[in-house]
Amino acid sequence: MSKADGDVPDDTIADELTTRPSAALRTDVAHGARIYDYILGGKDNYAADRAAGNATLKVWPALRVHMHANRSFMHRVVRYLTAEKGIRQFLDIGTGIPTSPNFHEVAQEIAPECRIVYVDNDPVVLVHARALMNGTREGRTAYIQADMREPEKIISAPELLGTLDLGRPIGLTLIAMVHFIEDDEEAYRVVRQIIDILPSGSYFAAAIATDDFDPEVLGKVREIYHAHGETLRWRSLAQAERFFDGLELEEPGVVQIHKWHPDATGAHIDDTDIAMYGGIARKP
């Protein structure tokens, strides 16, 4: 990550967090966003994140392929919703540490007037929030420091209500997020509660972790995440599809992320290297 992308030195991160009492930074346990940052070559991670990433790579060398495929899926989702479905406002929950091109950069390149609200619970992402709000003059971006397990806080946040028009279609994205909620009923409830506030014609996109394609190896990955203080819940295809209940799935339905409207790179990826289902659905 370059300075232009919002990179902040580690000592500056610590200094800034001391001025934000609501942002409790835990560097002794791994965090999904920072593991992701480390695997993709970022600098905003700590020893626990690197230990979890390295241990995972030892048992599942495809982790880096998987994470790059996940980011590519996010880009394709944004382009699809913006260019093909005409969506001009988005709620992205589980934003992660900024890495260009960010969500808003992809959307606003197609339609400069797009509005994006980012949500994340990692205080390191909060430090980088200014990079997430560096959008076009025609559009607008905002950031909410919140946990997806608190949907009431997200949907009532002034940042959301002041940025998005709840009377017009919204693109809701939870990319590689619901596996951090291990209780199935809680995960379905949280997602449904947010979908319920969206107006008709909105879209929901998600990438949902699965061990369907290499269960033995991915069982070890889950053990590693747990040992380093991070949660991880694999879900089957049927369980992944349940997140879209009551919605109208876009073709090709819920499939491995590299097979959803694939680009040229997806054709060369082995199925066992991808542990994520993805899909997009319209709210009637």
Mean pLDDT by 10 residues, the chain (284 residues): 36 42 68 86 88 94 94 97 98 89 95 97 82 87 94 96 97 97 97 97 98 96 92 97 98 98 84 97 98
Domain ranges of the chain: 3-282
pLDDT for 131: 74
Model pTM greater than 0.75? Answer: yes
Pairing assessment for the beta strands 140-145 and 171-175 based on DSSP bridges: unpaired
Kindly report whether the peptide bond that precedes residue 158 is cis, defined as omega within 30 degrees of 0. no
CA–CA distance, 259 with 69 (Å, rounded to integer): 10
For residue 36, give the amino acid letter. Answer: Y
Q: Which fold has domain 3-282?
A: Rossmann fold (3.40.50)
Tokens of 235: 């879900």
SS (H, E, C) 5-56: HCCCCHHHHHHHHHCCCCCCCCCCCCCHHHHHHHHCCCCCCCHHHHHHHHHH
Please choose, from the candidates 249, 255, 260, 235, the residue with its C-alpha nearest in 3D space to the C-alpha of residue 177: 235
Angle subtended at Cα 63 by Cα 133 and Cα 11, rounded to the nearest 5 degrees: 45
Which pLDDT belongs to residue 17?
A: 43
CA–CA separation, 196 and 67 (whole Å): 29
Neighbours of 22 (CB within 10 A): 8
Residues 6+ apart with CB under 8 A from 111: 82, 88, 139
State the Cα–Cα distance between residues 116 and 118, nearest whole angstrom: 6
